[in-house]
Amino acid sequence: MSRLLAKGLLLVACCLFTFNSFARPKIGLALSGGGAKGAAHLAIIQLLEEYQIPVDYVAGTSMGAYFGAMLAMGYDAQEIEDVTFSIFWEGGYEDDVTRGEMSLRRKKLRDQYQIDLPMGWNGQNLVLPKGAVQGQTMAKILRYATSNLEALSSFDQLAIPYRAVATDMALMKPVILDHGDLATAMQASMSVPGALRPVQIDGRQLADGGVVNNLPVDVLKEMGAELIIAVDIGARLKPQEQLNSAVDTLDQLSIFLTRSGTERQIALLDEDDLLISPNMDGIETSDFAQMPLAVTRGLEAGRAPLAALAQRLALGDDPQQYLAYRQQVNQRRADLALHEQFVVGQIELNNNSRLGDEVVLSRLQLNQGELLSKEELEQRIRQLYALGTFERVDYRIATEQGENVIHLDIYEKSWGPGYFDMKFGLQENFQDQTEVNFGLGFTLSNLNSYGAEWRNEVEVGTVKRLYTEFYTPFTDHLRYAWSVAAEYDKRQRRVYDVGDGVEYLAVDFEDIGLRTHLAWNYRPWQEWGLGLAAKHGALDVSGLDGEANYWLYGPYLTFDYDTLNSWAFPTEGKLLELTLSLYHENVSDESSAYSPTFEGRWKYPFSWDKHHLNWFGEYGSTGSDFIVPTDAQDLGGFLRLSGFSYEQLSGRYKALSGLMYFYQLHHYNSPLFQAPVFIGGSIENGGVWNSASDISLSSSIWAASLFTALDSSLLGPIVLAYGHNQEEQTLYLFIGNDF
């Protein structure tokens, strides 16, 4: 009897809840786009909870699509806040992997040619990317936020029915995303044209929905909403006094197009509907550091109207009604298939690149039966993306026949297979020497299934240089590689301590070199190399008649270890480069026996908070017997005996050790520009000698520097420095890594 009574009471409670649900109108929440200003939506969600206002439908555009999706998944306001403020949103507009993530080969190329040009060659034409950023990192952010939620046949299956609005870029019409992968739908709605690459869904290129419908009131009405709460954070037209440039005019046109659609949506609101328009003055779309201020503005704008709405609907009269609503949302949330942690089952690879499937899978290192967290899987995806040949590496997880299947979609860069990069180096000592170098690089990639490359470089300026190289790995795991290269180089050096009362000789070096190289990449950041090299050139000594021709040829052995996060101003990692050569020298038909040449360089940073120390140094020796060493060792310039000009000192032997301190004053952190700002100084000791017996601390030179630097992600380091040593002092200006 008691069990029958309990069932009866439960039935009555359900009937009462159903009656109350029908007694109140179905409430829809429309959230507009606005980038960082979208944090105001978080404030509205907080107030909805505070006043116990249920949401039956939610639709969003751009950043509104993100907050709407988080609410639709059943997250409460605190959970949404925790996830949102744990995300580095600026990183979503920067796909480049860090230097520490790159392979050793890519690090060396990037250190020399630091500017990636936004164009490629497809064999017939120059091609541009579909967006300044391809959205790889933004996809990672949204997968993290949604915990790898499985694709849904309908977004009505979410805890709260949901829609996202995107724009079909071919037709310039709205597309209402109502099913599929939630993170992909969010990204399509958030992909700002020109900044983020459009997202391909069902054969359509979809981008930010704000262009066509930034406040989806009509979408909610179609879903069945009877009362709509619309939150408008879109930009307003600028007054005439703020239209002072062409950029302002173009921005005004963009605002007008978005605003026109928003006004049409506002016109659809009924008398009982609610429009909340927070004051977003002073908060830019890309200023994610201002998100807490946007929350405050949202609370200020939303508190009074939402309190009045709750009172009008008498929602506070029956607390059990909101509790039952939350229980229903939580139950639907519990039914969602999330993948915070999972066991790897099958791997389905959709490889749209010329790299072999085995190479891709070897790089991912995913093993069937392995237990992975979502963070660990993202790290594996990042390892693959760090190869630098992909436009996007996407995945989704689905439960199929009782096991987790990882579906991988890999797309090669659409603006290749030929890619351009550039270097620009400026060294000015404000006295008697200006070193300017400009270089253009071209890489023809993925010439075989292992990712073979044909690399070409041309440099003009103080140094004239031509370089061509064919490079190919020859195993699936990319550990073993072979390359062959040719190089032309012309530059001037000063050779000191030549005797007969001569301070130095100014020598023009001009040579052509050939090299073949076998590499064993024990790890992506560590390489053993064995090769053969030959160099033929001419020396022209200023003040002397004629020139000397020479040959150098022989084997060499290298070891490279590099985990630095920055070449110029590292704060973590280590670098060690060693080269041992056994060259035979022939100068003007005078031959010498094989003699060893050794070069080494190291960097070892230490950091605490914003303070950084870097112990660095180098050593070199040559076996050349000629009066002017054909394989000369050089020092001079900033951090290489500061106070001297670049490569001012040259001889048979060099040794240098130094300690650099730098402090981070600031960090520019915009979506398209990353640059820490440093001040610091160094102390150095070293020298150049022509005889090993002359090397001593007493004959070495002490030097020091003071500097301020901007470690730009666009041009490389920009440094203004003062250098002083026992003999000279110099003021330097550097742009690029050539120091």
Catalytic residue numbers read 62, 208
Angle between helical axes of 63-72 and 182-190 (0-180°, round to 10)? 160
Strand pairing partners for 667? 676
Are 554 and 583 in contact, with CB atoms under 8 Å apart?
yes
Separation of alpha carbons 314 and 52, rounded Å:
10
DSSP class of residue 286? T
Separation of alpha carbons 216 and 518, rounded Å:
60
Separation of alpha carbons 248 and 588, rounded Å:
67
Separation of alpha carbons 575 and 111, rounded Å:
13
Buried b / exposed e over 420-444, threshold 16 CB at 10 Å, is bbebbbbbbbeeebebebebbbbbb
- Residue 291: other Cβ atoms inside 10 A: 21
Separation of alpha carbons 739 and 574, rounded Å:
18
Rg, the chain, Cα only: 32
- Residue 240: other Cβ atoms inside 10 A: 8
Separation of alpha carbons 685 and 683, rounded Å:
7
Listed residue (93, 738, 122, 100) closest to 465, CA to CA: 738
Separation of alpha carbons 98 and 103, rounded Å:
11
Question: How far does CA 322 lie from the centroid of its chain?
Answer: 44
Are 106 and 473 in contact, with CB atoms under 8 Å apart?
no
Within the chain, what is the greatest distance between any pair of CA atoms? 120
Amino acid at 23: A
